[in-house]
């Protein structure tokens, strides 16, 4: 046997070059059409066919069903997509991943595409040096395409040939002699390979090269392809481990969907293989059962027909699939759901351009959380039941912990994204989101201090006068109006948010003016009645805190509008 450690490194390096080329091309496509891709995601509806097409398009562009499904799991975890929507997208992603096999089969084996790789790199290099973002992105796409096929060419050359390594061929041949059990063995190998490589595309490239070299036949190559469909679900399930129950359901739905497809395929496996062989010969091609060089085309047909058929068979049963996974993973109630964003550690970061879309949604949710926290403060003023009062205090304390943790996790996530290659617009969006996240955390801190003040006031048995209560609730109303305007601006594009900035500035002025007005009134009231000194102290602190929240809200509005961004 002449296959040594250096040969193994060559094989592994070739596969790594293939994966790096795919990653480079994917990032270039994302940068080239980042905003449009995010628009596609935001247009997802409960229409299962729209979702399926979206999943197909997305996976075709990024050339990774694992990346697409991890993204979907993340979106469901964040509450940005329903389980029903996600299943449609996953079905489309399964079809989208078949384009890799066709790309390799039609170009990688039929054409000497690697001969054009160096000229492509020559074209890409000046584009990469261009200061124009779209030209730079095009250069990255060309470079990725060139590296992908260089890697595939090296992969073909580094796979051991049968003449000099008969022992390796014999070892594989030994696995083919167990009849139906051999199908399960190769199915398991396909699953294991995809789990190890973390890429169904890499597994497909490897199996196409091996079958093209004659190491294994059409039937066993098809079994590996089926195993790849199981292995690709592992990535999404790993991402969902740290997610909520909805994310876990999405990952499980993906697994169940693929397993159902594999079960019915195994029942008709030999017949299905035979039909593909029949049609290829009928249309003038050589038989993949006899000619190893035709196996890549045969496997591409098998992979495509299987995924399309499985989708068409099950797309009408999405609601039953949803009911099944909900039965397997019942919700234990919202109080058991983790409120922070741990799923950000799920490997979703290699889709940096698309991550910006998700991060925007998370920042909006964070600001909604800050507003909910603020609205506990009026409840503390009017609540008379001791037990309920303590419950509200505990909620504020818990929310304060959550805002601190979420702010750290969002900021960490945004910093990680910013290290990736992004469009200029996406980089600008990240800077704004970091500022918005910081201001949201400040609001949480101020709300916690307000709750602590009210707790001290209650302990000292100090009571607000009717006039003070009235003024406080008037201030709360102004601040809530500012919150509502802010939430609306967070949903808008930068130009639209800039148009509404004058209204935000006017609201902040009203908050400042009201603070000045009631502060003067309190001084007059204390001069008339010295017994109001302590209540006036707490009143002033709360009014000032509300004004600070107003300042933070204005900062968020300015950041969204692209004004005063640090």
Q: Inform me whether the pLDDT recorded for 45 exceeds 60.
A: no
Helix (H) or strand (E) holding 10, with range, is helix 5-32
Q: Inform me whether the pLDDT recorded for 53 exceeds 60.
A: yes
Q: Which residue has the higher pLDDT, 128 or 43?
A: 128
Pair 151, 19: CB distance under 8 Å: yes
Q: Inform me whether the pLDDT recorded for 338 exceeds 50.
A: no
Angstrom CA distances, 322 to 315, 333, 380, stand at: 12, 18, 41
Q: How confident is the model at residue 75 (pLDDT cuts 50, 70, 90)?
A: low
Q: Inform me whether the pLDDT recorded for 1 exceeds 70.
A: no
**What percent of the chain is modeled with pLDDT above 90?**
19
d(CA 220, CA 330): 38
Q: Please give the pLDDT value at position 198.
A: 62
Q: Inform me whether the pLDDT recorded for 448 exceeds 50.
A: yes
Q: Which residue has the higher pLDDT, 322 or 522?
A: 322
Angle at 520 between CA 516 and CA 526, to 5 degrees: 145
Q: Please give the pLDDT value at position 556.
A: 92
Q: Inform me whether the pLDDT recorded for 164 exceeds 60.
A: no
Compute the chain's Rg from CA coordinates: 30
> Hey, what domains does the chain have and what are their CATH numbers?
5-334 (no CATH), 355-560 (1.20.58.220)
Q: How confident is the model at residue 343 (pLDDT cuts 50, 70, 90)?
A: very low
Q: Which residue has the higher pLDDT, 314 or 113?
A: 314
Q: Inform me whether the pLDDT recorded for 170 exceeds 70.
A: no
* Residue pLDDT, tens place only, 217-260: 888 889 999 998 888 787 667 666 656 677 788 888 889 999 99
Helices (H), 268-317: 269-282, 295-314
Pair 345, 412: CB distance under 8 Å: no
Q: Please give the pLDDT value at position 263.
A: 93
User: Mean per-residue pLDDT for 501-514?
Assistant: 91
**What percent of the chain is modeled with pLDDT above 70?**
75
Q: How confident is the model at residue 428 (pLDDT cuts 50, 70, 90)?
A: confident
Q: Please give the pLDDT value at position 479.
A: 94
Q: What is the mean pLDDT of the chain?
A: 79
Q: How confident is the model at residue 113 (pLDDT cuts 50, 70, 90)?
A: low
Q: Inform me whether the pLDDT recorded for 80 exceeds 70.
A: no
Q: Inform me whether the pLDDT recorded for 336 exceeds 60.
A: no
Q: How confident is the model at residue 272 (pLDDT cuts 50, 70, 90)?
A: very high
Pair 235, 181: CB distance under 8 Å: no
Q: Which residue has the higher pLDDT, 491 or 513?
A: 513
Q: How confident is the model at residue 334 (pLDDT cuts 50, 70, 90)?
A: very low
């Amino acid at each position: 046997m002449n296959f040594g450690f250096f040969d193994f490194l060559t094989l592994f390096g070739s596969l790594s070059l293939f994966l790096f080329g795919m990653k480079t091309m994917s990032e270039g496509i994302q940068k080239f059409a980042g905003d449009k891709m995010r628009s596609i995601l935001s247009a997802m509806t409960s229409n299962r066919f729209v979702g399926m097409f979206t999943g197909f398009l997305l996976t075709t562009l990024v050339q990774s069903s694992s990346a697409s499904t991890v993204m979907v799991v993340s979106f469901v975890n964040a509450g940005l997509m329903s389980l029903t929507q996600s299943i449609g997208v996953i079905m489309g992603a399964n079809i989208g991943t078949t384009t890799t096999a066709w790309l390799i089969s039609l170009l990688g084996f039929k054409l000497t595409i690697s001969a054009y790789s160096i000229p492509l790199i020559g074209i890409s290099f000046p584009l990469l040096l261009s200061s124009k973002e779209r030209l730079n992105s095009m250069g990255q796409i060309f470079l990725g395409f060139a590296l992908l096929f260089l890697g595939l060419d090296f992969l073909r050359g580094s796979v051991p040939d049968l003449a000099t390594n008969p022992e390796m061929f014999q070892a594989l041949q030994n696995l083919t002699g167990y009849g139906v059990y051999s199908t399960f063995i190769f199915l398991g190998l396909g699953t294991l390979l995809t789990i190890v490589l973390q890429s169904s595309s890499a597994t497909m490239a490897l199996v196409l090269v091996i079958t093209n070299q004659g190491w294994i036949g059409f039937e066993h190559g098809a079994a590996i392809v089926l195993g790849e469909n199981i292995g690709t679900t592992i990535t999404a399930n790993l991402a969902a481990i740290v997610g909520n129950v909805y994310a876990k359901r999405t990952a499980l739905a993906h697994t169940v969907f693929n397993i159902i497809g594999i079960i019915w395929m195994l029942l008709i496996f030999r017949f299905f293989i035979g039909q593909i062989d029949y049609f290829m010969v009928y249309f003038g091609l050589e038989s993949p059962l006899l000619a190893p060089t035709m196996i890549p085309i045969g496997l591409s047909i098998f992979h495509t027909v299987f995924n399309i058929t499985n989708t068409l068979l099950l797309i009408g049963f999405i609601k039953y699939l949803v009911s099944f996974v909900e039965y397997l993973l019942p919700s234990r109630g919202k109080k058991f759901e983790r409120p922070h964003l741990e799923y950000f550690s799920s490997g979703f970061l290699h889709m940096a351009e698309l991550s910006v879309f998700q991060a925007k949604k998370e920042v909006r949710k964070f600001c909604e959380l800050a507003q909910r926290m603020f609205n506990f403060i009026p409840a503390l003023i009017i609540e008379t039941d001791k037990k309920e009062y303590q419950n509200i205090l505990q909620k504020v304390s818990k929310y304060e912990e959550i805002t601190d943790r979420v702010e750290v996790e969002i900021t960490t996530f945004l910093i990680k994204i910013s290290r990736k290659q992004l469009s200029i617009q996406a980089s600008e969006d990240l800077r704004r989101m970091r500022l918005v996240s910081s201001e949201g955390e400040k609001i949480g801190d101020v709300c916690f201090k307000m709750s602590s003040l009210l707790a001290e006031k209650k302990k000292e048995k100090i009571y607000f006068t009717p006039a003070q209560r009235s003024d406080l609730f008037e201030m709360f109303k102004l601040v809530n109006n500012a919150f509502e305007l802010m939430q609306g601006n967070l949903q808008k594009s930068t130009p639209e948010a800039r148009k509404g900035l004058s209204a935000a500035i006017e609201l902040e002025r009203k908050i400042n003016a009201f603070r000045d007005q009631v502060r003067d009134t309190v001084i007059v009231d204390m001069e008339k009645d010295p017994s109001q000194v302590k209540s006036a102290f707490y009143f002033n602190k709360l009014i000032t805190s509300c004004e600070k929240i107003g300042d933070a809200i204005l900062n968020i509005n300015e950041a969204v509008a692209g004004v005063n961004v640090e």
